[in-house]
Structures are given as C-alpha cells and as structure tokens.
Amino acid sequence: MLANITGDDLSHCKNLSVLYLYDNRISQITNLNYATNLTHLYLQNNCISCIENLTSLKKLEKLYLGSNYIAVIEGLEGIELRELHVESQRLPLGEKLLFDPRTLQSLAKSLSILNISNNNIDDIRDLQILENLNHLIAVDNQLLHVKDLEFLLNKLMKLRKMDLNGNPVCLKPKYRDRLILVSKSLEYLDGKEIKNMERQFLINWKASKDAKKIIKKKISKDEDAKNPYIGNFETMHHIVPVYYPHVGKPKLVFFSDIQNYLANRNASSESSLEDNSTTAEDMGNLSLKESEKLLTNNDIHEPHLLQNPKVNENVFVEKE
C-alpha cells in the first residue's frame, strides 16, 4: 500500500493514459509530472484530503476521487476535465463538500458529468456556471428547496440527466412536475425517463391554470371598478356620531357594519350613480335608531365604554 504517489518506477511510461491507484492508503497526490498523456486517473478510496499537483496533466479527462477526505473541490485550474467523481467524502460531522469558484470557472466549458453524491450538500446553485454539464448525480444529500433546482435548471441548458434520489426535496409536492416544466433539455430525472407525452400534458395543464388565474384577476378588477366605494371601505375607518341623552354629550363610535348597511341601500336604489355620490353624506346623517341597530360589541374600540343594563342592549355609555 502506498503512502503517496511515487512515479519513480513509472517515470519512463510517458505514454501512460490510464492509471489505477484506488483502494490504497495514498494521502497525497505527488510525482505525476511525467504523466503528461494521462487521460484517466482513478484515486477512489484513499486518504487524500487535498486535490493538488495535477496542473501538469493537461490531457486529463476523467478524475475519480470518491471516498476520500476532501472538503473542498479545488486545484483543477487549467485542466479541461470531462468527468469529475467526488462522491461520499468522509467529512467531519456537520460539514459539507464545498466548491472553489476558481475551479468551477476553469471547468465551466469542459465538464460534462459531475458526481457529488452523499456529501451533505444543501445548495447546488453555484453549479450554474457549468454551462456544458450533461449529467448531474447528487443523490443522498440535503437539498431541500425546489426553487433552487428550478433556478439551476434555468441556467443549465444542456443538462439531460439529473439524479437527486435521497434528498428531502424529492418529497415536496409536484417536485417532478415542476422540474420537468422548467427544463426543456432534461430527459431523465431520478433514473426515470421524461416522455414527450408527460411533458406536453404538464405544459398544457400549466397553460390552462395560468389562463384561469388571468380571468379570475380580470373579473375581480372589474368588480372593484363597479363598486369603488365598497372597495375603499376596506381601508377606511367608519365613524358615525351617536348622541346619548342620558350622557349629555355626543360620542364618536367606530364600527364596521356600516359598509354592509350602505351596500344594501345602494344595491336596492334605482339610481346607483346618484346613491354613490351621496354615500359620504348618508354616513353622517344616520338616525339614532339606525346607528343603534348597527352598533355591536365588536364595533367598540374604546375599552372605557361599558354596557348600560337600563337601556337598549346595543347602546353603550361612558363609564363614570
């Protein structure tokens, strides 16, 4: 078993293109400068904690680093990788796999397949920069929000396959439907093919739903236009002066049922336009009898008013 990669015995193999070094105890990547023609490098199940010393491998296309101790994907600047596999890193409890922006920028135009499964990842929006990504494998992570995935799919226009099984987001209502609707390129989701019939059905369903919303909004807007005063009442305080002889002074009382009262009066009027123009005047000219009918316990907004048992049950007087 190797403690690190030593190329002493392989330095003469200048045409080496595939190198298998998995299942060893390699703790550091070193001495690979000779392998300038290397295209495939297998380093799974080792003790590597840092991706380093690979910049000389200009022809490297596939890098396998699963089941190591890597906490940050970095050190790949200048390498046009097509596949990167970093699944199941043995991280400290509570930590998650992170991505160095410089490495993501370097891989933006070349990376086609990315495997980041089982790394406690809760956000993959940073992957939006990988414009040529074709297959994303991110199973058994902590992805939670459908909106984050919709955002990502809007950016990854060439993504054909995405595997997210084992994430909490998969349990969200209409999770699959929403992702199919947002991506025209996606052909497989969680190992299941997206058929044209399924996508077309969802497109038609969404169009119908949006049309109903527009119609409902228009109807609501037309109703508000026909009843401008009723609409304004929702944001107005209604004040009616009510005079109580035994108190000896007028008292302003706030109540909400006034809008229903006036609405009924306006609805039964032969000329709605004429009634609407005098609504404000009607509010100030309610008779004592009418005011008392509309007054309820819920309409009193002044806690110092108490009910007088000697008068009508809906009339309140000021506490002495």
How does pLDDT run across 30-46, given as a tens digit for each residue? 989 888 899 999 999 99
Number of structural domains the chain divides into: 2
Dihedral Cα 168, 174, 176, 178, nearest 10 deg: -110
Given pLDDT bands bounded at 50, 70 and 90, which one contains residue 190? very high
Does 250 have pLDDT greater than 90? Answer: no
Residue 255 lies in a domain: yes
pLDDT in tens, 213-246: 787 777 777 776 776 655 554 444 444 454 445 4
Does 3 have pLDDT greater than 60? Answer: no
Residue 10 lies in a domain: no
Residue 223 lies in a domain: no
The number of helix segments (H) and strand segments (E) in the chain equals 9, 15
Q: Which residues contact 279 (CB under 8 A, 6 or more apart)?
A: 229, 262, 266
Q: Compute CA 77 distance to the chain's CA centroid, rounded to the nearest angstrom.
A: 31
Residues 118 and 260 in one domain: no
Q: How many CB atoms lie within 10 A of CB 212?
A: 10
In the block, which residue shows the tokens 């950016």?
155
Residues 80 and 182 in one domain: yes
Alpha carbons within 13 A on the beta-carbon side of 99: 24
Q: What is the reported pLDDT for 277?
A: 45
Residue 88 lies in a domain: yes
State the angle between helix axes of 196-226 and 175-182 in degrees (0 to 180), rounded to the nearest 10. Answer: 90
Pairing mode of beta strands 98-99, 135-137: unpaired
Domain that holds residue 124: 18-205
Phi/psi at 209 (5° precision) = -65, -45
Q: Which of 174, 205, 236 is the last residue of a domain?
A: 205
What span, in angstroms and rounded, lies between the C-alpha atoms of 276 and 218? Answer: 23
Does 101 have pLDDT greater than 90? Answer: yes
Residue 300 lies in a domain: yes
Beta carbons of 122 and 96 less than 8 angstroms apart: yes
Find the CATH number of the domain harbouring 120: 3.80.10.10
Tokens describing residue 142: 């902590």
Burial class (CB in 10 A: 0-12, 13-18, 19+), 257: middle
Residue 211 lies in a domain: no
Average pLDDT, stretch 59-83?
96
Residue 296 lies in a domain: yes
Residues 312 and 176 in one domain: no
Q: Which of 205, 238, 263 is the last residue of a domain?
A: 205
What span, in angstroms and rounded, lies between the C-alpha atoms of 164 and 38? Answer: 31
Beta carbons of 76 and 52 less than 8 angstroms apart: no
Q: What is the reported pLDDT for 312?
A: 46
What span, in angstroms and rounded, lies between the C-alpha atoms of 91 and 48? Answer: 12
Residues 86 and 201 in one domain: yes
Residues 104 and 166 in one domain: yes
What span, in angstroms and rounded, lies between the C-alpha atoms of 5 and 41? Answer: 12
Residue type at 91?
L
Q: Which of 190, 205, 220 is the last residue of a domain?
A: 205
pTM equals 0.65
Given pLDDT bands bounded at 50, 70 and 90, which one contains residue 253? very low
